[in-house]
Amino acid sequence: MMRLLIVDDSNIIRSRIMRIVLAGTLPGAQIVGMARDGMQAVMMFKAHQPDVVTMDLTMPNMDGIRCIEEIMAINPDVPILVISALADKTTAIAALRKGARGFLNKPFTEKQLVAALKEVISDDE
Amino acid sequence: MNKKDISESELRVFITAVTEYFQALAGEPAQVRSAYLGADLTVPQSYDYTGLITISGNYRGCVYFSCRQVLLRRLLVCMGENDHSEANLLDAVGEVANTISGNARKHFGAALEISVPVTIHGPTESIRAAVRARPFVITIDWLGQAAIVMIDLERLI
Protein backbone atom coordinates (compact mmCIF):
# COMPACT_ATOMS: atom_id res chain seq x y z
CA MET A 1 0.00 0.00 0.00
CA MET A 2 1.34 3.43 -0.96
CA ARG A 3 -0.69 6.38 0.34
CA LEU A 4 0.23 9.45 -1.65
CA LEU A 5 -0.21 13.19 -1.08
CA ILE A 6 0.06 15.28 -4.28
CA VAL A 7 1.14 18.93 -3.90
CA ASP A 8 1.03 21.27 -6.91
CA ASP A 9 -0.66 24.61 -7.60
CA SER A 10 -1.73 23.40 -11.05
CA ASN A 11 -4.98 21.44 -11.13
CA ILE A 12 -4.10 19.74 -14.43
CA ILE A 13 -0.74 18.58 -13.05
CA ARG A 14 -2.35 17.24 -9.85
CA SER A 15 -4.90 15.37 -11.96
CA ARG A 16 -2.23 14.03 -14.31
CA ILE A 17 -0.14 12.69 -11.43
CA MET A 18 -3.27 11.10 -9.95
CA ARG A 19 -4.22 9.41 -13.24
CA ILE A 20 -0.71 8.01 -13.72
CA VAL A 21 -0.46 6.78 -10.13
CA LEU A 22 -3.87 5.08 -10.27
CA ALA A 23 -3.31 3.55 -13.72
CA GLY A 24 -2.03 0.31 -12.25
CA THR A 25 1.72 0.53 -12.65
CA LEU A 26 2.08 1.24 -8.93
CA PRO A 27 0.12 -1.60 -7.27
CA GLY A 28 -1.71 -0.58 -4.11
CA ALA A 29 -1.29 3.12 -4.73
CA GLN A 30 -3.90 5.36 -3.17
CA ILE A 31 -4.31 9.15 -3.23
CA VAL A 32 -5.02 10.53 0.25
CA GLY A 33 -5.00 14.20 -0.68
CA MET A 34 -4.24 16.82 -3.31
CA ALA A 35 -2.99 20.20 -2.09
CA ARG A 36 -2.68 23.39 -4.15
CA ASP A 37 -0.06 25.12 -1.99
CA GLY A 38 2.35 24.44 0.84
CA MET A 39 0.03 25.54 3.63
CA GLN A 40 -2.74 23.22 2.50
CA ALA A 41 -0.16 20.44 2.07
CA VAL A 42 1.02 20.70 5.69
CA MET A 43 -2.57 20.52 6.94
CA MET A 44 -3.30 17.51 4.75
CA PHE A 45 -0.05 15.84 5.79
CA LYS A 46 -0.98 16.15 9.47
CA ALA A 47 -4.50 14.87 8.80
CA HIS A 48 -3.67 11.91 6.55
CA GLN A 49 -0.05 10.91 7.36
CA PRO A 50 0.74 9.81 3.77
CA ASP A 51 3.51 7.32 2.95
CA VAL A 52 4.92 9.46 0.13
CA VAL A 53 4.56 13.05 -1.13
CA THR A 54 5.01 14.61 -4.57
CA MET A 55 5.98 18.26 -4.16
CA ASP A 56 5.93 21.21 -6.56
CA LEU A 57 8.29 24.09 -5.65
CA THR A 58 6.86 27.30 -7.15
CA MET A 59 3.55 27.77 -5.36
CA PRO A 60 1.65 30.64 -3.72
CA ASN A 61 1.27 31.08 0.07
CA MET A 62 4.02 28.59 1.00
CA ASP A 63 6.57 27.37 -1.54
CA GLY A 64 7.79 23.81 -1.87
CA ILE A 65 11.15 24.23 -0.12
CA ARG A 66 9.47 25.68 2.99
CA CYS A 67 6.82 22.97 2.81
CA ILE A 68 9.49 20.24 2.75
CA GLU A 69 10.99 21.77 5.91
CA GLU A 70 7.59 21.77 7.63
CA ILE A 71 6.86 18.17 6.66
CA MET A 72 10.33 16.99 7.69
CA ALA A 73 9.73 18.57 11.11
CA ILE A 74 6.59 16.42 11.45
CA ASN A 75 7.99 13.20 9.97
CA PRO A 76 11.64 13.17 8.80
CA ASP A 77 11.26 9.67 7.34
CA VAL A 78 8.56 10.35 4.75
CA PRO A 79 9.83 10.12 1.14
CA ILE A 80 9.25 13.33 -0.85
CA LEU A 81 9.60 13.47 -4.63
CA VAL A 82 10.00 17.03 -5.90
CA ILE A 83 8.33 17.58 -9.30
CA SER A 84 9.28 21.01 -10.59
CA ALA A 85 10.03 23.00 -13.72
CA LEU A 86 13.00 24.62 -11.96
CA ALA A 87 15.83 22.89 -13.79
CA ASP A 88 18.93 24.35 -12.11
CA LYS A 89 21.22 22.22 -9.95
CA THR A 90 21.18 24.67 -7.03
CA THR A 91 17.45 24.24 -6.55
CA ALA A 92 17.62 20.46 -6.79
CA ILE A 93 20.45 20.33 -4.25
CA ALA A 94 18.57 22.70 -1.92
CA ALA A 95 15.47 20.49 -2.04
CA LEU A 96 17.52 17.35 -1.37
CA ARG A 97 19.33 19.03 1.53
CA LYS A 98 15.98 19.94 3.09
CA GLY A 99 15.01 16.28 3.01
CA ALA A 100 13.53 15.47 -0.40
CA ARG A 101 14.47 11.99 -1.68
CA GLY A 102 14.21 12.65 -5.42
CA PHE A 103 13.80 15.36 -8.04
CA LEU A 104 11.85 15.08 -11.30
CA ASN A 105 11.83 17.91 -13.81
CA LYS A 106 8.68 19.09 -15.57
CA PRO A 107 7.63 18.28 -18.19
CA PHE A 108 7.67 14.58 -17.33
CA THR A 109 6.45 11.46 -19.06
CA GLU A 110 4.37 8.75 -17.43
CA LYS A 111 7.38 6.41 -17.41
CA GLN A 112 9.60 9.02 -15.77
CA LEU A 113 7.07 9.67 -13.00
CA VAL A 114 6.52 6.00 -12.23
CA ALA A 115 10.27 5.34 -12.19
CA ALA A 116 10.93 8.32 -9.92
CA LEU A 117 8.20 7.30 -7.48
CA LYS A 118 9.45 3.71 -7.38
CA GLU A 119 12.94 4.99 -6.67
CA VAL A 120 11.98 7.20 -3.70
CA ILE A 121 9.82 4.42 -2.29
CA SER A 122 12.54 1.80 -2.72
CA ASP A 123 14.95 4.07 -0.83
CA ASP A 124 12.50 3.80 2.05
CA GLU A 125 12.46 -0.02 2.09
CA MET B 1 21.83 49.86 -11.18
CA ASN B 2 23.47 48.76 -14.41
CA LYS B 3 21.52 46.56 -16.80
CA LYS B 4 22.60 44.36 -19.65
CA ASP B 5 20.47 42.72 -22.31
CA ILE B 6 20.58 38.96 -22.55
CA SER B 7 22.36 37.80 -25.69
CA GLU B 8 20.44 36.21 -28.52
CA SER B 9 22.37 32.97 -28.06
CA GLU B 10 21.37 32.86 -24.37
CA LEU B 11 17.76 33.43 -25.31
CA ARG B 12 17.90 30.33 -27.48
CA VAL B 13 17.70 28.36 -24.24
CA PHE B 14 14.00 29.20 -24.37
CA ILE B 15 13.68 27.69 -27.86
CA THR B 16 14.98 24.40 -26.52
CA ALA B 17 12.63 24.61 -23.53
CA VAL B 18 9.53 25.20 -25.62
CA THR B 19 10.24 22.46 -28.19
CA GLU B 20 11.12 19.94 -25.49
CA TYR B 21 7.97 20.77 -23.54
CA PHE B 22 5.66 19.54 -26.29
CA GLN B 23 7.94 16.60 -27.12
CA ALA B 24 7.84 15.34 -23.53
CA LEU B 25 4.10 15.75 -23.09
CA ALA B 26 2.86 14.65 -26.48
CA GLY B 27 5.76 12.94 -28.25
CA GLU B 28 5.53 15.63 -30.89
CA PRO B 29 7.96 18.57 -30.64
CA ALA B 30 6.84 22.08 -31.47
CA GLN B 31 8.25 23.37 -34.77
CA VAL B 32 9.96 26.73 -34.46
CA ARG B 33 8.72 28.98 -37.27
CA SER B 34 10.81 32.01 -36.40
CA ALA B 35 12.91 33.43 -33.60
CA TYR B 36 14.00 37.06 -33.69
CA LEU B 37 14.41 40.29 -31.78
CA GLY B 38 11.11 42.00 -32.33
CA ALA B 39 10.52 45.62 -33.19
CA ASP B 40 7.25 47.54 -32.96
CA LEU B 41 5.99 46.39 -36.32
CA THR B 42 7.22 42.80 -36.08
CA VAL B 43 6.00 41.81 -32.63
CA PRO B 44 3.01 39.57 -33.32
CA GLN B 45 -0.33 40.00 -31.58
CA SER B 46 -0.97 37.57 -28.77
CA TYR B 47 -3.70 34.94 -29.07
CA ASP B 48 -6.74 34.51 -26.86
CA TYR B 49 -5.03 32.67 -23.97
CA THR B 50 -1.84 33.96 -22.36
CA GLY B 51 0.35 32.80 -19.47
CA LEU B 52 2.73 35.36 -17.99
CA ILE B 53 5.74 34.79 -15.73
CA THR B 54 7.48 37.72 -14.08
CA ILE B 55 11.25 37.45 -13.69
CA SER B 56 13.19 38.86 -10.74
CA GLY B 57 16.40 38.13 -8.80
CA ASN B 58 19.52 39.01 -10.78
CA TYR B 59 17.31 39.45 -13.85
CA ARG B 60 14.30 41.56 -14.65
CA GLY B 61 11.55 41.10 -17.17
CA CYS B 62 8.87 38.65 -18.16
CA VAL B 63 8.17 35.59 -20.27
CA TYR B 64 4.82 34.94 -21.81
CA PHE B 65 3.27 32.15 -23.82
CA SER B 66 0.18 32.80 -25.91
CA CYS B 67 -1.97 30.52 -28.05
CA ARG B 68 -5.50 29.76 -29.19
CA GLN B 69 -7.97 27.66 -27.25
CA VAL B 70 -7.72 24.74 -29.70
CA LEU B 71 -4.03 24.25 -28.92
CA LEU B 72 -4.76 24.12 -25.19
CA ARG B 73 -7.55 21.60 -25.76
CA ARG B 74 -5.15 19.37 -27.72
CA LEU B 75 -2.58 19.74 -24.98
CA LEU B 76 -5.11 18.67 -22.35
CA VAL B 77 -6.06 15.66 -24.48
CA CYS B 78 -2.37 14.67 -24.67
CA MET B 79 -2.23 14.90 -20.88
CA GLY B 80 -5.27 12.62 -20.58
CA GLU B 81 -7.37 15.48 -19.21
CA ASN B 82 -11.04 15.35 -20.20
CA ASP B 83 -12.07 18.46 -18.27
CA HIS B 84 -11.64 21.33 -20.74
CA SER B 85 -13.22 23.94 -18.49
CA GLU B 86 -12.10 27.55 -18.59
CA ALA B 87 -10.19 27.01 -15.33
CA ASN B 88 -8.19 24.13 -16.83
CA LEU B 89 -7.53 26.00 -20.09
CA LEU B 90 -6.09 28.89 -18.05
CA ASP B 91 -4.19 26.44 -15.87
CA ALA B 92 -2.67 24.85 -18.98
CA VAL B 93 -1.47 28.10 -20.53
CA GLY B 94 0.05 29.12 -17.20
CA GLU B 95 1.77 25.78 -16.80
CA VAL B 96 3.39 26.06 -20.24
CA ALA B 97 4.76 29.52 -19.38
CA ASN B 98 5.92 28.30 -15.96
CA THR B 99 7.67 25.23 -17.36
CA ILE B 100 9.45 27.10 -20.16
CA SER B 101 10.70 29.72 -17.67
CA GLY B 102 11.69 27.17 -15.03
CA ASN B 103 13.55 25.02 -17.54
CA ALA B 104 15.56 28.08 -18.62
CA ARG B 105 17.18 28.05 -15.16
CA LYS B 106 19.26 25.12 -16.38
CA HIS B 107 21.27 27.82 -18.18
CA PHE B 108 20.64 30.97 -16.11
CA GLY B 109 20.71 29.35 -12.66
CA ALA B 110 18.69 30.03 -9.53
CA ALA B 111 19.31 33.79 -9.76
CA LEU B 112 16.62 33.82 -12.45
CA GLU B 113 13.68 33.93 -10.04
CA ILE B 114 10.27 33.19 -11.52
CA SER B 115 6.82 34.10 -10.25
CA VAL B 116 3.76 31.90 -10.18
CA PRO B 117 1.95 32.33 -13.52
CA VAL B 118 -0.63 35.00 -14.21
CA THR B 119 -3.14 33.79 -16.80
CA ILE B 120 -5.35 35.82 -19.09
CA HIS B 121 -8.19 34.99 -21.46
CA GLY B 122 -8.73 37.87 -23.84
CA PRO B 123 -6.86 41.03 -24.83
CA THR B 124 -3.39 41.52 -23.42
CA GLU B 125 -2.68 45.16 -24.21
CA SER B 126 -1.49 45.78 -20.66
CA ILE B 127 1.21 43.11 -21.03
CA ARG B 128 2.27 44.38 -24.42
CA ALA B 129 2.60 47.88 -22.99
CA ALA B 130 4.89 46.54 -20.26
CA VAL B 131 7.14 44.68 -22.69
CA ARG B 132 10.05 46.69 -24.02
CA ALA B 133 10.31 47.73 -27.64
CA ARG B 134 12.50 44.79 -28.68
CA PRO B 135 11.56 41.55 -26.97
CA PHE B 136 12.82 38.18 -28.21
CA VAL B 137 9.99 36.52 -30.12
CA ILE B 138 9.64 32.81 -30.86
CA THR B 139 6.78 31.73 -33.08
CA ILE B 140 5.98 28.03 -33.04
CA ASP B 141 3.62 25.55 -34.61
CA TRP B 142 2.40 22.47 -32.76
CA LEU B 143 0.00 20.01 -34.39
CA GLY B 144 -0.91 22.69 -36.92
CA GLN B 145 -1.62 25.35 -34.29
CA ALA B 146 0.39 28.54 -33.92
CA ALA B 147 1.64 29.99 -30.65
CA ILE B 148 4.14 32.61 -29.55
CA VAL B 149 6.67 32.84 -26.75
CA MET B 150 7.81 36.36 -25.90
CA ILE B 151 10.89 36.92 -23.74
CA ASP B 152 11.73 40.35 -22.37
CA LEU B 153 14.74 39.87 -20.15
CA GLU B 154 17.67 41.89 -18.90
CA ARG B 155 20.47 41.05 -16.47
CA LEU B 156 21.01 43.38 -13.52
CA ILE B 157 24.73 43.85 -12.99
Cα A124 to Cα B18: distance, rounded to the nearest angstrom: 35
Exposure of B122 by Cβ count < 10 A (0-12 exposed, 13-18 middle, 19+ buried)?
A: exposed
B87, pLDDT greater than 80: yes
Average pLDDT, stretch B47-52? 94
Nearest residue to B91 via CA among B56, B120, B114, B48 = B120
Question: Smallest CA–CA separation between B40 and chain A, in Å?
Answer: 31
Q: Taking CB atoms and an 8 Å limit, are A19 and B80 in contact across chains?
A: yes
Question: B98 contacts in A (CB within 8 Å)?
Answer: 10, 58, 85
What pLDDT, on the 0 to 100 scale, is given for residue B2? Answer: 65
Nearest residue to B24 via CA among A52, A17, A107, A35 = A107
Average pLDDT, stretch B52-78? 94
Answer yes or no: are the C-beta atoms of A85 and A58 closer than 8 Å.
yes
Between A11-21 and A110-124, two packed helices, what is the crossing angle to 10 degrees? 70
pTM for this one?
0.92
Nearest residue to A68 via CA among A48, A83, A89 = A83
What pLDDT, on the 0 to 100 scale, is given for residue A59? Answer: 95
Nearest residue to B153 via CA among B93, B124, B102, B112 = B112
A47, pLDDT greater than 60: yes
Tell me the residues of chain A between 38 and 67 that have a Cβ less than 8 Å away from chain B.
Answer: 58-60
| Residue of B14, B72, B73, B99 for testing the chain A interface, max A β-carbons within 10 Å | B99
**In this predicted model, what pLDDT tens digit does every residue of A2-32 receive, in sequence order?**
999 999 999 999 999 999 999 988 888 999 9
Question: A93 contacts in B (CB within 8 Å)?
Answer: none
Average pLDDT, stretch B69-90? 96
For B106, the closest of A13, A15, A87 (CB atoms) is A87
Collect all residues with Cβ–Cβ distance below 8 Å to B27 and sequence separation of at least 6.
Answer: none
Cα B87 to Cα B93: distance, rounded to the nearest angstrom: 10
Question: Smallest CA–CA separation between A64 and chain B, in Å?
Answer: 12
Cα A49 to Cα A47: distance, rounded to the nearest angstrom: 6
Which SS3 state, helix, strand or coil, does residue B79 take? coil
Q: Taking CB atoms and an 8 Å limit, are B99 and A60 in contact across chains?
A: no
Q: How confident is the model at residue A35 (pLDDT cuts 50, 70, 90)?
A: very high
Question: B81 contacts in A (CB within 8 Å)?
Answer: 12, 15-16
What pLDDT, on the 0 to 100 scale, is given for residue B78? Answer: 94
What pLDDT, on the 0 to 100 scale, is given for residue A124? Answer: 59
Question: B101 contacts in A (CB within 8 Å)?
Answer: 85
Q: Taking CB atoms and an 8 Å limit, are B91 and A16 in contact across chains?
A: no
**In this predicted model, what pLDDT tens digit does every residue of A48-97 receive, in sequence order?**
999 999 999 999 999 999 999 999 999 999 999 999 999 999 999 999 99
For B91, the closest of A12, A19, A107 (CB atoms) is A12
**In this predicted model, what pLDDT tens digit does every residue of B101-134 receive, in sequence order?**
999 999 999 999 999 999 999 877 666 656 665 7
Q: Taking CB atoms and an 8 Å limit, are A106 and B99 in contact across chains?
A: yes
Give yes or no for a cis peptide into A60 (omega within 30° of 0): no
Exposure of B34 by Cβ count < 10 A (0-12 exposed, 13-18 middle, 19+ buried)?
A: exposed
Q: Taking CB atoms and an 8 Å limit, are A88 and B109 in contact across chains?
A: yes
